[in-house]
């Protein structure tokens, strides 16, 4: 029995650790969920409820797109929603949302500490937040701490 039949078999679990491109594709598969959940939590905190129309406006997509995405999140057990009613996070959804928000905040603070203008930092943070390993986030944290809030 051969030790490697790599030609046709693709590792599923730790290929992400050895191939950066595979890792990026995996990141992207989680990206939408994270953005939706973070945004839903935000809307609930700030306006009392998360409505399809507001999510669509924030994300810059059509409402039909949001409806479809919500159906998927429901399937995955991350949100609950009754037809024509607003959207709520499950406990699992809340966990992901909080983690996403934290990452987002860390990265934003980091970029600003690095000297990037606020509005540019906001934009870049939204993209890179899904691609950073714990180690890199930790390094960013250290950097923020070292910078004593420059004037």
Write out the residues near DNA by the rule CB under 7 A: 8, 10, 25, 28-29, 31-32, 51-54, 59-72, 81, 83-86
Does residue number 51 form part of the binding site for its own copies (CB under 8 A)?
no
- Residue 106 beta carbon to its own copies: minimum distance, rounded to whole angstroms: 13
Does residue number 22 form part of the binding site for its own copies (CB under 8 A)?
yes
Which contiguous run of DSSP H or E holds residue 25? helix 20-47
What is 111-123 written as a DSSP string?
HHHHT--HHHHHH
Q: Nearer Cβ to its own copies, position 25 or 68?
A: 25
Q: Which does 64 bind (CB under 5 to 8 A by kind): DNA, Mn ion, its own copies, none?
A: DNA
Q: Is residue 125 within 8 Å of residue 107, measured between CB atoms? A: yes
Q: How many CA atoms lie within 13 A of 125 on its CB side?
A: 24
Nearest residue to 103 (alpha-carbon basis) of 35, 18, 44, 14: 35
- Residue 4 beta carbon to DNA: minimum distance, rounded to whole angstroms: 13
Q: Which does 104 bind (CB under 5 to 8 A by kind): its own copies, Mn ion, DNA, none?
A: Mn ion
CB atoms within 10 A of CB 137: 16
Partnered with residue 81 across adjacent β-strands are 87
Which residues contribute to the site for its own copies (CB under 8 A)?
Answer: 10, 15, 17, 19-25, 27-28, 35, 58-61, 111, 114-117, 120-128, 130-133, 135-136, 139-140, 142-143
């Amino acid at each position: 029995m051969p030790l490697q039949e790599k030609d046709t078999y693709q590792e599923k679990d730790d290929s992400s650790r050895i191939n950066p491109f595979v890792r990026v594709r995996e990141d992207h598969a989680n990206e939408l969920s994270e953005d939706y959940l973070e945004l839903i939590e935000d809307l609930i905190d700030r306006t009392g409820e998360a409505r399809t129309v507001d999510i669509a406006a924030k994300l810059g997509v059509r409402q039909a797109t949001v409806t479809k995405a919500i159906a998927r999140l429901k399937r995955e057990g991350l949100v609950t929603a009754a037809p024509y009613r607003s959207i709520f996070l499950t406990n699992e959804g809340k966990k992901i949302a909080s983690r996403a928000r934290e990452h987002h905040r860390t990265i934003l603070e980091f970029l600003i500490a690095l000297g990037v203008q606020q509005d540019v930092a906001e934009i870049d943070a939204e993209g890179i937040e899904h691609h950073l390993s714990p180690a890199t986030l930790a390094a960013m944290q250290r950097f923020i701490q070292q910078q004593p809030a420059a004037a």
